[in-house]
């Protein structure tokens, strides 16, 4: 529920409208999952609420910890399916990578999620609950750390689940709820052009990342079938028209696949393509998984590719794989258990706030 939904819910129960906001704040600001902890509601309202509503859509089934501090959460939905979300500490920052769908329909050849096919969209509650469960886990495991950044880069294509994406963004950035900053949220897409155009017209403005992954249509057609529908020309035209906030730039993701898209000629083509777009490129050396016939390029090849892009004036960064020992790195999320140790979760109760009536 959005705050408006919660207020309408309160009125429909015969309660004062402000009860809706009180309840909503408990859930989205405090991360409360237990109605009996809502101490500013009368016992009667709490009892009625417990009969008529539940809080939270997901449960933590498993937490795997990587040697680099990354944690992968396997979460189960009410209908018994699993999704994955990843917490990535990086200095003072902690970024959470969240899923928007169970599986994905886009079928990129190099991606493990693609092999699952699309099972279903996540609803907005399931998207935001990943964040609330991760905040609880962090509060318990590393109280000095706070969740600072959010990326829609887990399982699924966020723009294929457009309405729930927007609803989840509105909920997570609401200043009476979790209050995450739009500037610290990034939505990543494989390039659904009509939805990109629609996103540009929204009043909510997350950062945008686009999985380009190829320097020409021939290669992109092969590794990302979506390119046959919206090719690089159409995609870049939409991005050139995308209204960017001041001091922001588009991130292009480029998965480096050995002998597919990693030559110096490809680097030059890529640099030429992106001339005139306010952007940076994140190079992601391919993370292996068993279902795909690709290889990660040698370090020297990766370095030469990056150097060539930089020499040609394209700001280009290398993403070091995080959590790849637990299959938590980019493109490895597919609900496979790899036998890594399971860390049991202990969750602290939400601290009470004083009653007001
Ligand atoms: N569906 C969206 C969001 C998922 S983000 C999108 O594709 O943008 C996942 C990112 O990981 C994408 O940039 C994708 O290109 C990249 N990726 C997928 N499989 C990968 C793999 N095996 N190794 C490295 N990166 C991968
Ligand atoms: Fe879907 Fe993104 Fe994987 Fe492509 S890379 S299959 S769009 S999750």
pLDDT tens-digit map of 202-236: 999 999 999 999 999 999 999 999 999 999 999 99
For residues 159 and 351, the model is more confident at 159
User: From the alpha carbon of 111, which atom of ligand 2 is closest?
Assistant: 3
Q: How many CB atoms lie within 10 A of CB 267?
A: 26
Distance from Cα 252 to the centre of ligand 1, integer Å: 11
**CA count, 13 A, side-chain hemisphere, 267:** 23
* Closest alpha carbon to 305 in 295, 313, 294, 316: 316
C-alpha 200/C-alpha 35 separation (Å) is 38
Q: Which residue has the higher pLDDT, 309 or 323?
A: 309
State which of 284, 297, 328, 333 you would mutate to test the pocket of ligand 1, scoring each by most atoms of that ligand within 8 A of its C-beta: 284
Question: Facing residues of 86 across strands?
Answer: 72, 97
Considering every ligand atom shown, identify the ligand nearest to the alpha carbon of residue 158 and give its number.
Answer: 1
Q: What is the pLDDT of residue 356?
A: 39
pLDDT exceeds cutoff 90 at 320: no
- Cβ(58) to ligand 2 under 6 A? no
The verdict on the CB of residue 306 being under 6 Å from ligand 2 is: no
Could you write out the DSSP letters of every residue in 189-237? Answer: ES--HHHHHHHHTSS---EEEEE---SSHHHHHHH-GGGGTS-HHHHHH
Say yes or no to pLDDT of 346 above 50: no
- Average of per-residue pLDDT values in the chain: 92
Nearest CA to 190 among 294, 309, 331? Answer: 331
Q: Give the separation between CA 317 and CA 289, rounded to whole angstroms.
A: 23
Ligand 1 atom showing the smallest separation from residue 156 Cα? 1
105 C-alpha to ligand 2 centroid (Å): 8
Is 108 a pocket residue for ligand 2 (Cβ < 6 Å)? yes
3-class SS of residue 76: strand
Those residues whose C-beta lies under 8 Å from the C-beta of residue 339, and which sit 6 or more positions away, are none
Report the alpha-carbon distance of residue 327 to residue 173 in Å, rounded: 29
The ligand that comes nearest to the alpha carbon of residue 293 is 1
Closest residue by Cα to residue 64 from 347, 345, 341, 334: 341
330 is annotated as an active-site residue: yes
Q: CA 49 to CA 271: how far, in whole Å?
A: 57
Neighbours of 253 (CB within 10 A): 20
Characterize 32-53 residue by residue with b for buried, 16 or more Cβ atoms within 10 angstroms of its Cβ, and e for exposed. Answer: bbebebbebbeeebbebbeeee
Q: Is the pLDDT of residue 353 over 90?
A: no
- Which atom of ligand 2 lies nearest, measured to the CA of 190? 7
336 — pLDDT class (breaks 50, 70, 90): low
- Annotated catalytic residue: which of 7, 84, 126, 157? 84
**Quick one: average pLDDT of 43-71?**
95
Q: Which residue has the tokens 């590719």?
A: 305
Does 189 contact ligand 2 (Cβ within 6 A)?
Answer: no
Q: How confident is the model at residue 325 (pLDDT cuts 50, 70, 90)?
A: confident
Cα of 256 from ligand 2 centre, angstroms: 15
Q: Whose CA is nearest to atom 21 of ligand 1?
A: 331
CA distance 127 to 121: 10
pTM: 0.93
Q: Separation of 139 CA from ligand 2 center, angstroms?
A: 31
Q: Within 6 Å (CB) of ligand 1, which residues are found? A: 110-111, 153, 157, 188-190, 211, 213, 253, 255, 284, 286-287, 289, 330-331
pLDDT at 348 over 70: no
Confidence band of 350 (pLDDT split at 50, 70, 90): very low
Contacts of 234 (CB under 8 A, 6+ apart): 193
* Ranges assigned E (strand) in 49-164: 59-65, 71-76, 82-90, 93-97, 101-103, 118-121, 149-152
194 CA distance to ligand 2 middle (Å): 17
Is residue 104 part of the annotated active site? The answer reads: no
Distance CA 169, CA 187 (A): 10
Query: What's the DSSP call for residue 21?
Result: H
Q: Which of 255, 261, 287 to mutate to test the pocket of ligand 1 (most atoms within 8 A of CB)?
A: 255
Q: Where are the alpha helices (DSSP H) in 36-161?
A: 43-52, 124-141
C-alpha of residue 286 to centroid of ligand 1, in Å: 9
């Amino acid at each position: 529920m959005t705050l408006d939904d919660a207020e309408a819910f309160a009125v429909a129960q015969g309660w004062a409208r402000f009860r809706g906001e009180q309840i909503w704040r408990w859930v989205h600001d405090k991360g409360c999952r237990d109605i009996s902890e809502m101490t500013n509601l009368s016992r009667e309202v709490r009892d009625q609420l417990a009969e008529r509503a539940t809080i939270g859509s997901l449960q933590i089934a498993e937490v795997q910890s990587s040697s680099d501090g990354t944690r992968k959460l396997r979460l189960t939905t009410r209908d018994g399916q699993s999704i994955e979300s990843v917490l990535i500490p990086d200095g003072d920052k902690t970024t959470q990578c969240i899923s928007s769908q169970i599986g994905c329909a886009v079928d990129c050849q190099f991606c493990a999620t693609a092999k699952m096919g699309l099972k279903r969209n996540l609803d907005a509650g399931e998207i935001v609950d990943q964040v609330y469960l991760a905040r609880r886990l962090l509060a318990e495991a590393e109280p000095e750390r706070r969740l600072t950044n959010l990326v829609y880069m887990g399982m699924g294509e966020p723009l294929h689940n457009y309405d729930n994406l927007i609803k989840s963004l509105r909920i997570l950035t609401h200043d009476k709820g979790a209050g995450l900053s739009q500037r610290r949220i990034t939505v990543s897409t494989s390039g659904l052009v009509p939805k990109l155009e629609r996103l540009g017209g929204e009043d909510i403005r997350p950062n945008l990342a686009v999985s380009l992954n190829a320097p020409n249509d021939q290669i992109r057609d092969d590794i990302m079938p979506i390119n046959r529908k919206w090719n690089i020309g159409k995609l870049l035209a939409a991005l050139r028209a995308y209204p960017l906030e001041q001091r922001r730039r588009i991130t292009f993701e480029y998965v480096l696949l050995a002998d597919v898209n990693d030559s110096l000629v490809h680097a030059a083509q890529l640099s030429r393509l992106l001339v005139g777009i306010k952007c940076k490129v994140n190079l992601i050396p391919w993370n292996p998984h068993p279902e795909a016939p690709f290889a990660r390029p040698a370090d020297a090849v990766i370095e030469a590719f990056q150097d060539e892009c930089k020499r040609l004036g394209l700001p280009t960064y290398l993403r070091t794989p995080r959590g790849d020992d637990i299959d938590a790195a980019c493109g490895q999320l597919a609900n496979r258990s790899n036998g890594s140790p399971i860390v049991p979760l202990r969750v602290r109760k939400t601290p009470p706030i004083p009653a007001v009536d």
